[in-house]
Structure 1
Amino acid sequence: MPERNNYIDFHCHPALKPFGRSFRKSPAGMQSQHRSHKTSLWWYDPPSVTDKLLNYLGGLTRFSQSNAHALARGGVGVACASLYPLEKGFVNNTIKRDALNDLLLDFATSLGKDRIDFLQGMTDYFADLNLEYQFYKQCHGHVVRLPQGSFQYRLVRNYGEIEENCRSGDTTADLRTLCLVISIEGLHVLNTGLGRVPDPWEVLQNLRKIKAWEFPPFFITVSHHFWNHICGHAPSLSGIVRKVANQAEGMGQGITDLGRRVLSEMLSRENGPRILPDLKHMSGRAREEFYALRQSGELGDSHFPLLISHGACNGLKSFRDPFPGDLPTARLLNPVEINFYDSELIALARSGGLIGLQLDERRIAAKSALELVPRSLLRHKIMHYRSELLWRQVQHIAETLDRAGLFAWGCMAIGSDFDGIIDSLNGFWTAEELPFLSDFLERHAYNYLKKAHWQLPENSIRADEVVERIFSGNGHRFLKAHFQG
């Protein structure tokens, strides 16, 4: 039987690959009820030896990381399923044909050529968003039989429904439920960033339509990889993708007038439930402006929690003072703008917010630190060395908050970004390995806490409590407090 850990993953893309494959047949966007079909969320696609080698050598992830089967086997009880109409900047470029073909081949391996062809000609992100939303709804509550027992996934509107499903799982031994919380990555879904000036009326109407969904999103990532007329984005691409996809337009800009109107509408409860803004991918300047707008009350609400669904620390003091502090972890982290500054971590903790720690090697560690990771052919050693990269993120957050006189362990969770075109920690390829990651992280926590000295006495807690909070407890408390529908 799969682990009964009730883990939470605050950011993953279970439908990205099966939804893409559904474009091979007409009508597109149909999910199969057969778990053995590649257009099912339950299609089990663990990495082969060749897959792992390609990932290890080239950072290419051609296998499914967060299919519902892998989530269930990994003990995930709640996942924030991110809807993401892939941006046209990935597939439409004025570049040499050979390079474009390489890029398309890489995407086609995961999504399928028919999906790529569709994206190249797409003129309506909002229609594509609704199609993916319906894809999830089609098999909501449909029971599948796996080798580990009977399972279903259910979309949920609030934390009460999560609790109800948990209680049902405790009393119904032969049926397990994976709760999916809808989220969205990128406000381009409102039909912005399409090479034309967006119509503000259309943008706001699309947002209100989203808020009227049967299962409205709990949060939306404000920006993503390309200019969306809402706010500037941070540099985010690497490798071959960075060479062929131009992120320059809008990069580093602040929040636009339209962006202020959209953020106010998201946070308003007048036309539907409040939708939290997710700070990931926003430029440093846009994030600074966002904090100022929140504090001033110009967004209509100044008491909502700050949320980073899938992020990492950069070890730097602040956007205005971008230099490492004196913590031992500061120079081991990736010092890039898309990652978060110490000042932001403190503000997030004070707001009662949450950071989902992402599992992308390229994002969480400095290049020099990655080069120094010991090599091994033994799986348990690989897992030990690679999990330490994530532990450094945890340690940095804890020590930063302790220095600020704050509880060190209350704002961290997991936001894997599985299936989000990431290079996951070697040895922890998919959601199925989350229990192993939990175990190895507890080892690092135990060794660290034996020698740790705290300014705040309540920060001295056990290693198992630290890990329980990150993988489950903090996330459940955050959802209970803020996911009210």
Structure 2
Amino acid sequence: MNSNNYIDFHCHPSLKPFGKSFRKTPVGQNSADRRRNSSIWRYDPPSVFDKALNYLSGLTKFSQSNFTALTLGGVDTVCVSLYPLEKWFIRNKMKNELILDLASNFALGIGAKRIDHIQEMQDYFADLLLQYDFYRQLDGKVFRVGGNRVRYKLVRSYDEILELREQADSSRIRTIAVIISIEGLHVLNTGLRKEPVEAEVLQNIRAIKNWEYRPFFITVAHHFWNDLCGHAPSLTGVITKYADQGEGLDTGFTPLGWKVLERMLDNDKGRRILPDIKHMSVRARQEYYEFLERPEWKGKNIPLIISHGACNGLRSASDPVQAHPLTAAPLNPVTINFYDEEIIRLARSGGIIGLQLDERRIASKDTLKHTKKSLYRHKIMHYRSGLLWNQVRHIITVLDAEGLFAWDCMALGSDFDGIIDSLNGFWTAEELPFLADFLERHAFNYMKEAVFKVPENRIGADEIVQRIFSTNGHEFLSKNFI
């Protein structure tokens, strides 16, 4: 079984199986039996009903990034996101407890026992430790997929990834390198709508930095107020009627938030953790950029990372107009997405943006409404992959206009299993090779007539796709995951 050497900077393989593990005691057991719902290797491709439900409602009941699907999709390195679900998804405005439980379980697909646990959550950090242990339980265990021997291995540095690749030639075991990341600093036990205990919060970030498999990056904000950093509006559809994001929305960093941020970036003993700026409010992002310009941080070579994001097509928060109307028009002009000014800043920092595959994020409602429909799978794939290409096309336009090489800052950050409405036709990680193929078609057609200010931006369509799905990610990791 050949690997495509793909890298996914953001997905949630454990979200559903970890949730299902709460059916038995002790909880948090990652089953070595691939047939079990609580196994991170359980293969769960979508049925026709699953696809229809996703198409009509945006709900994803099937597993998108289990390790069998990642293997079949050619992913060889993955940044897995530890994410204790915020209780305010489940403890919300819906009054009837039975309906609340049923609705939450149906929408999230994590099991009724897990729903009960989250509703009563008083310690996000303890839940984080359970999720971390969930990955460690099957670390290195060999399974068979398609007649081939496969496993995943947690890694601490890019050098360890290279060692795994060298070992694969002799061992004949296909290995997926797993990099730990975290989504949301509420994991430090904040955001519980009570005053956080500073000593506890700082002790928790110190403990995380001392893990054997230290997170490479942590998403600072997420869906709800975490007492540390303001968040951007992120929820859409019917859930907005029940889950209130209002507290802390669009605010900046708190004094405690600054203390946590500085401890993350402290590179004592080479144990820096990069802040992932996805989900941060516009104000918080601007405060962070200004922070990096301070004399004590300016020379630290801290790259910006957006593990799973999209462009909004607007010039900047202070001047929210379309500087490049042709490429900006199809995009979703919301503040959780990133302004042209931020993409330029990211590229200049040596940073990376993992392009997410959530239709609701990467395209405007009008674009989705007018995207062509078809009953033929290959046509669906062509039309829906075009939504992702629109993001790529805008980034190249913005960076080329700025006189920058544009093809070294884009990667893949699917957000599979992260409660997303994925591109129709590309349901799981198993379909990533198809996405690469269709994206290459769009790139080839674009390059036939494209005119560039920077001559180096004229590269082959195959290289464009290789960079987005693999090369850029490997180069970013080689420089920063050390």
Secondary structure class of the residue paired with 2:223: coil
Q: Among residues 415, 418, 424, which one is paired with 1:417 in the alignment?
A: 415
Confirm or deny: 8 A CA contact 1:74 1:432 kept in the other structure.
yes
Q: Distance in 1 between matches of 2:369 and 2:119?
A: 37
1:76 aligned onto 2:105: no
**CA separation of 1:103/1:79 partners in 2, compared to 1, >3 Å: closer, same or farther?**
same
Secondary structure class of the residue paired with 1:329: helix
Secondary structure class of the residue paired with 2:70: helix
What does 1:354-433 align with in structure 2 at a 5 Å threshold?
Answer: 354-433=352-431
Corresponding residue number in structure 2 for 1:96: 95
Secondary structure class of the residue paired with 1:168: helix
Q: Distance in 2 between matches of 1:421 and 1:14?
A: 12
Q: Distance in 2 between matches of 1:266 and 1:7?
A: 28
Q: Distance in 2 between matches of 1:331 and 1:297?
A: 38
Q: Distance in 2 between matches of 1:99 and 1:298?
A: 52
Deviation at 1:200, TM superposition (A): 1.4
Corresponding residue number in structure 1 for 2:162: 163
Task: Give the TM-score taking structure 2 as reference length.
Answer: 0.98
Confirm or deny: 8 A CA contact 1:232 1:283 kept in the other structure.
yes
Identity of matched residues, %? 61
Equivalent residue pairs, number: 481
Deviation at 1:148, TM superposition (A): 3.8
Q: Among residues 272, 275, 278, which one is paired with 1:277 in the alignment?
A: 275
Corresponding residue number in structure 1 for 2:48: 49
Q: Distance in 1 between matches of 2:170 and 2:468?
A: 26
Corresponding residue number in structure 2 for 1:122: 121
1:9 aligned onto 2:12: no
Secondary structure class of the residue paired with 2:149: strand
Corresponding residue number in structure 2 for 1:292: 290
Confirm or deny: 8 A CA contact 2:356 2:362 kept in the other structure.
yes
Corresponding residue number in structure 1 for 2:246: 248
Confirm or deny: 8 A CA contact 1:306 1:353 kept in the other structure.
yes
Summarize deviations over 1:411-436 as a string: whole Å, max 9, x none.
00000000000000000000000000
Q: Which runs of 5+ in 1 are unaligned?
A: none
Deviation at 1:300, TM superposition (A): 8.0
Summarize deviations over 1:168-225 as a string: whole Å, max 9, x none.
223333x110110000000000011011111111111100100111101000000000
**CA separation of 1:158/1:243 partners in 2, compared to 1, >3 Å: closer, same or farther?**
same
Deviation at 1:102, TM superposition (A): 5.4
What does 1:74-473 align with in structure 2 at a 5 Å threshold?
Answer: 74-97=73-96, 100-101=100-101, 103-107=103-107, 110-173=109-172, 175-270=173-268, 273-297=271-295, 302-473=300-471
**CA separation of 1:101/1:40 partners in 2, compared to 1, >3 Å: closer, same or farther?**
closer
Confirm or deny: 8 A CA contact 2:101 2:115 kept in the other structure.
no
Secondary structure class of the residue paired with 2:78: strand
Structure 1 runs (4+) greater than 6 angstroms displaced = none
Corresponding residue number in structure 1 for 2:21: 22
Confirm or deny: 8 A CA contact 2:63 2:417 kept in the other structure.
yes
AA matched with 2:64:
Q
**CA separation of 1:326/1:404 partners in 2, compared to 1, >3 Å: closer, same or farther?**
same
**CA separation of 1:475/1:77 partners in 2, compared to 1, >3 Å: closer, same or farther?**
same
Q: Distance in 1 between matches of 2:387 and 2:195?
A: 42
User: Bigger CA drift: 17-26 or 143-152?
Assistant: 143-152
AA matched with 1:349:
A
What does 1:31-42 align with in structure 2 at a 5 Å threshold?
Answer: 31-42=30-41
AA matched with 2:401:
R
Backbone CA RMSD of aligned residues: 1.3
AA matched with 1:106:
F
Secondary structure class of the residue paired with 1:111: coil
Q: Which runs of 5+ in 2 are unaligned?
A: none
Secondary structure class of the residue paired with 1:394: helix
Confirm or deny: 8 A CA contact 1:327 1:396 kept in the other structure.
no
Deviation at 1:101, TM superposition (A): 4.6
Q: Distance in 1 between matches of 2:471 and 2:68?
A: 23
Confirm or deny: 8 A CA contact 2:140 2:153 kept in the other structure.
yes
Secondary structure class of the residue paired with 2:467: helix
User: Bigger CA drift: 160-169 or 445-454?
Assistant: 160-169
Summarize deviations over 1:17-64 as a string: whole Å, max 9, x none.
110001000110111112222111110000000000000111110000
Summarize deviations over 1:206-255 as a string: whole Å, max 9, x none.
00100111101000000000000111000001112222110000000011
Q: Distance in 2 between matches of 1:166 and 1:473?
A: 15
Confirm or deny: 8 A CA contact 1:268 1:300 kept in the other structure.
no
Confirm or deny: 8 A CA contact 2:324 2:398 kept in the other structure.
no
Confirm or deny: 8 A CA contact 1:295 1:302 kept in the other structure.
no
Summarize deviations over 1:79-126 as a string: whole Å, max 9, x none.
000000000110112333286355323246x10000000011110000
Corresponding residue number in structure 1 for 2:62: 63
AA matched with 1:44:
Y
Secondary structure class of the residue paired with 1:390: helix
